[in-house]
Every structure is written in structure tokens, then in C-alpha cells.
Amino acid sequence: MEKRLNTKVTCPYCGYVEEVVMPIDSCQIFYKCKNCSKLLKPKKGDCCVFCSYGDIPCPPKQIIRQSEDKMKPTEILKEEHRVIKSMLKVLDKICNKLSKNKEVDVEHLEKIVDFIRTFADKCHHGKEEDLLFVSMEKAGIPKEGGPIGVMLEEHEIGRGYVRSIAEAISKYKSGNKKSSSEIIKNAQDYIQLLTQHIDKEDNILYMMADMHLSDDEQKRLIKEFEKVEQKKIGKGVHEKYHHLVKELERVYL
């Protein structure tokens, strides 16, 4: 893939513009303005100073965008499935600790619930319910009595489990250690539900979407997915949850 290495960096303090050659395979966190000597740092949600103050993104970000241009919307959703499944493995390990009456970091439990509600539900399920499933219906795939209806029903069942997990965590945090059994039961039910749910989407529903949606519609969906991440979830939040999964994997897996 072709990458552009030259960028024009504009200092936000003094307005000085300098042409810079960016590193080809890494993100630069700091940049010192040659005019006013101020140290520039990336804006919140950006990976480096070039993405914040340059006229083009850094080379690693260019590669990601070029790859996304060739991706299907279902491939983006499958990648999110892989992240969600990693967090489910972490949750399962925590359940194992609780079942052996071992102490668990409540903050980790709360972060997992936040991940599920924001990344898995608001972002991922939101893309499906508000965008992909709607496009599939328009393409002739019925919601009622078909796989779309089943997926929507399972989304609601999952939300019920998550509410119960959150309530049990609140009791556990206040000192009621017996509530650990509620956390375990609802978490394991959620893990089983979502594991099977993901398998059905990856191997049945998404294949139907790939077959029935036109190239133009798939390109439109990808743009709409980006809007969900930027406007509904917030710039940089998607990446924050990726980092959280990696952090908890190091602790529990």
C-alpha cells in the first residue's frame, strides 16, 4: 500500500508550519516546535502528533484507513466479536476465582460491565440494530421469523443478564460476599448466550448480509459505522476498550 511520509505540521501555539518526514512504522508522541519551542502532544483520541497537527494522518493510520476501505461491514463486526470474546474469557476466569471463594477486584468487574454496555451493546449491537439489520430488511431478509429476529431477541436477553450482573456487583462491593453466586450464574449465562450468538452471526447472518447487500450499500454502512464510533460512542473510546481488554488479559489469562 502506498504511504505518504511528508506532512506539514502546524503549531497550535504560534501557527508556525514546518514540513516533516514522518516515521514509516511508528507513532510519534512528542514534537517540539522549531519556532516557539513548545512541546506538542497528541489530542485526546489521536495516536500521535502528526494525526493531531499534520495535514495528513501518520503512516500506520494511513494503512488502517486503506484496509478499512477494502473491508466489508461484516468484517468490522467480526473483528469486534474477537475483542468481545477475549473479554468473555476474562469474565470466565473471574467466575472461576469467585467460585473458589477468592477475592476479586471489584473495579475490574465494574470495568467489564462498562465494556459490555458501551463497546458490546451500545457500539457493536447498535451498529447491527440501527444499521446492518435495517439494510438487510430492505434487501429482502425478513426480521420476523428469521435470524434477524432471533438476534434481536438474544440482545434483549443479554441485557437482562448484564443488569443482574451489575446489581450483584453492587451488593458484592458493599460487603455481601454471598452475592458472588449471583455474579457467577448471570455471567456464565451471559457468556454461553453471547458465545453461541456470535457463532450464529459470524457463520449465518453475516454471510447472508454479504450475499444480499450491494457494494454501494456496504460502503455506506462502513461510513455509518465510523459515525457511530465518533459521535455516539466518542472519539478514542473504541480504542480505549481495546486497551482495557489487553490490560485485563495480562491479569487473568
Q: Look up residue 196 and give its three cell numbers.
A: 453461541
The pLDDT assigned to 230 comes to 87
Query: Which amino acid is present at 94?
Result: I
The pLDDT assigned to 1 comes to 47
3-state secondary structure 54-84: CCCCCHHHHHHHHHHHHCCHHHHHHHHHHHH
Cell 514509516 found at? 24
The pLDDT assigned to 70 comes to 64
The pLDDT assigned to 60 comes to 81
What secondary structure does DSSP assign to 126-150, as a single string? HHIIIIIHHHHHHTT--STTSHHHH
Contact 149, 171 (CB under 8 A): no
Contacts of residue 147, Cβ cutoff 8 Å, sequence gap at least 6: 141, 200, 204, 205, 208
The pLDDT assigned to 79 comes to 93
The pLDDT assigned to 3 comes to 67
Rounded-to-10 torsion of CA 141, 147, 150, 151: -90
The pLDDT assigned to 143 comes to 92
* Domain 72-252 top-level CATH class: mainly alpha
- Is the overall model pTM greater than 0.95, yes or no? no
In angstroms, the CA 187 to CA 164 distance is 9
Q: Look up residue 225 and give its three cell numbers.
A: 459505522
pLDDT digits (tens, 9 = 90+) for 17-73: 999 999 887 788 899 999 999 999 998 878 899 999 999 988 888 877 666 556 899
**Ranges of the chain with pLDDT below 70:** 1-3, 65-70
Domain ranges of the chain: 6-65, 72-252
